[in-house]
Amino acid sequence: MTVMDQVANIAYSLIIPVAVLFGFIMLNAAYLSYMERKVLAHMQARMGPMMTGWHGILQPIADGVKLFFKEDIIPAKADKWLFSLAPVLLLIMSIAAFVAIPFGPPTDFYGILSNKVPLWLTNLNVGILYVLALASVGTYGVIMAGWASNNKYSLLGGFRSAAQMISYEIPMAFAIITVVLLAGSLNLAEIVNAQSEKWFIIVLPVGPVAFLLYLISGVAETNRAPFDLPEAETELVAGFFTEYTGMRFAMFFMAEYANMVVISLLVSILFLGGWMPVQILPNTWLGGMPPVSWINGLFRLMPPVLWLLGKVYFLLFFFIWLRATLPRLRYDQLMAFSWKFLLPLSLATLLTTAVMKQMGLL
């Protein structure tokens, strides 16, 4: 093997995937803000951003440039180092979570490449634990920002946010363990492959319950409406990032949107069959006769990665839809909902799954 071959090898196996994934994250973090504003606007019979480019398509770029040229204010009473570190930490953690996520089965892009390449950067055997661990570190970023600002709104917002994130992490963990029980693996690609016959959301009776538990906890983890108390504008100004300006403020937003994408990816991978195409009816129905096999075959024509992204964008749309529809919870309701309802329900789901597996029913 010549030196050029080796260089080309490293480029194909590492540099290009890293660049593609990083671009994907940045594009999503920027354009999710556009999607959110547009969808919210149309749900409220408005137009949303319209001035920059066709239907405001350049709005995220304009916003980014504006924030880039804004003064970076660090309040005199703030803890300078923690204040600077918090948004950086949050952004790093939300970006790094993407590394372990598989986007599709190995593919040669319809013969364009000579051999099949995997659509993931690394296939960790503890994939789901890795993503969860990074999300937990993100909680430190939130509480650091709240504490370092030395502002009463920030401090209260930071504490509320951290308490909320850890409270909803527990039902989320139990819902994930239910999936791990069903799949028998912590590896995200193997979890998807375990759903080739039947997505986990339709594994009765536990699938739909675990799915809803995870979805609700996921919305709460990302501090989105109706669980957006830490950023409740009407009482806490902007919560833990009240004192932040310019680029640091932008980093909080990028981290939040990146986290939304991660949660949507995980919901798709854990419950909605990942990159598996929709099956309107099982392939074996009526002995695999047409027209069922035709329609299922039609669905299979779409590349797997597009199936995964389709599910992800539908979920992102759903999260924005929730924000347009539901009013905010009260804080005591929020905590009681997690500790007194979701936690026992998630434990019961987990135990039911274990019992049914033991009896050979699943």
Please name the residue that has the structure tokens 């040669």: 108
| Closest CB 250 distance from another protein, rounded Å | 8
Q: Contact between 352 and another protein (CB under 8 A)?
A: no
Instruction: List the interface residues with another protein, window 164-223 (CB under 8 A).
Output: 166-167, 169-170, 173-174, 177, 180-181, 184-186
In 3D, which of 298, 304, 305, 264 has the Cα closest to residue 281? 298
Residue 312 backbone dihedrals phi, psi, to 5 degrees: -60, -45
DSSP 337: I
| Closest CB 350 distance from another protein, rounded Å | 7
Distance CA(193)–CA(195), nearest Å, equals 5
Stretch of 36-44, 115-123, 278-286, 309-317 lying at the interface with another protein (CB under 8 A): 115-123
Distance CA(104)–CA(101), nearest Å, equals 9
Q: How is 15-31 classified by DSSP, letter by letter?
A: IHHHHHHHHHHHHHHHH
Stretch of 149-157, 196-204, 271-279, 284-292 lying at the interface with another protein (CB under 8 A): 149-157
Among residues 28, 33, 154, 268, the one that binds another protein under rule CB under 8 A? 154
Please name the residue that has the structure tokens 């039947």: 198
Among residues 8, 10, 88, 280, the one that binds another protein under rule CB under 8 A? 88
Residues paired with residue 117 on neighbouring β-strands, in sequence order: 107
Check residue 45 and give left, alpha or beta (phi > 0: left; psi -120 to 50: alpha): left
| Closest CB 89 distance from another protein, rounded Å | 9
Stretch of 52-60, 72-80, 103-111, 210-218 lying at the interface with another protein (CB under 8 A): 72-80
Among residues 61, 74, 117, 212, the one that binds another protein under rule CB under 8 A? 74
User: Quick check: 176 and 188 in contact, CB under 8 A?
Assistant: no
Among residues 98, 211, 240, 257, the one that binds another protein under rule CB under 8 A? 98
- C-beta closer to another protein: residue 178 or 279: 178
Q: Contact between 73 and another protein (CB under 8 A)?
A: yes
> What are 70's two structure tokens?
């804004």
Q: Contact between 345 and another protein (CB under 8 A)?
A: no
Q: How is 122-142 classified by DSSP, letter by letter?
A: ---TTHHHHHHHHHHHHHHHH
Report the SS3 class of residue 64.
Answer: helix
Instruction: List the interface residues with another protein, window 303-332 (CB under 8 A).
Output: 331-332
Q: Contact between 39 and another protein (CB under 8 A)?
A: no
| Closest CB 300 distance from another protein, rounded Å | 29
| Closest CB 68 distance from another protein, rounded Å | 5
Amino acid at 6: Q
Instruction: List the interface residues with another protein, window 258-297 (CB under 8 A).
Output: none
Distance CA(160)–CA(170), nearest Å, equals 16
Stretch of 89-97, 193-201, 293-301, 312-320 lying at the interface with another protein (CB under 8 A): 89-97
Distance CA(136)–CA(37), nearest Å, equals 28
- C-beta closer to another protein: residue 151 or 222: 151
| Closest CB 335 distance from another protein, rounded Å | 5
Spell out the residues 6+ positions from residue 355 whose beta carbon is closer than 8 angstroms to its own.
none
Among residues 57, 117, 329, 336, the one that binds another protein under rule CB under 8 A? 336
| Closest CB 233 distance from another protein, rounded Å | 12
Please name the residue that has the structure tokens 């850890």: 166
| Closest CB 333 distance from another protein, rounded Å | 9
Q: Contact between 12 and another protein (CB under 8 A)?
A: no
Stretch of 34-42, 107-115, 297-305, 339-347 lying at the interface with another protein (CB under 8 A): 339-347
Report the SS3 class of residue 107.
Answer: strand
Distance CA(141)–CA(82), nearest Å, equals 9
Instruction: List the interface residues with another protein, window 218-237 (CB under 8 A).
Output: 237
Q: Contact between 82 and another protein (CB under 8 A)?
A: no
Distance CA(356)–CA(147), nearest Å, equals 46
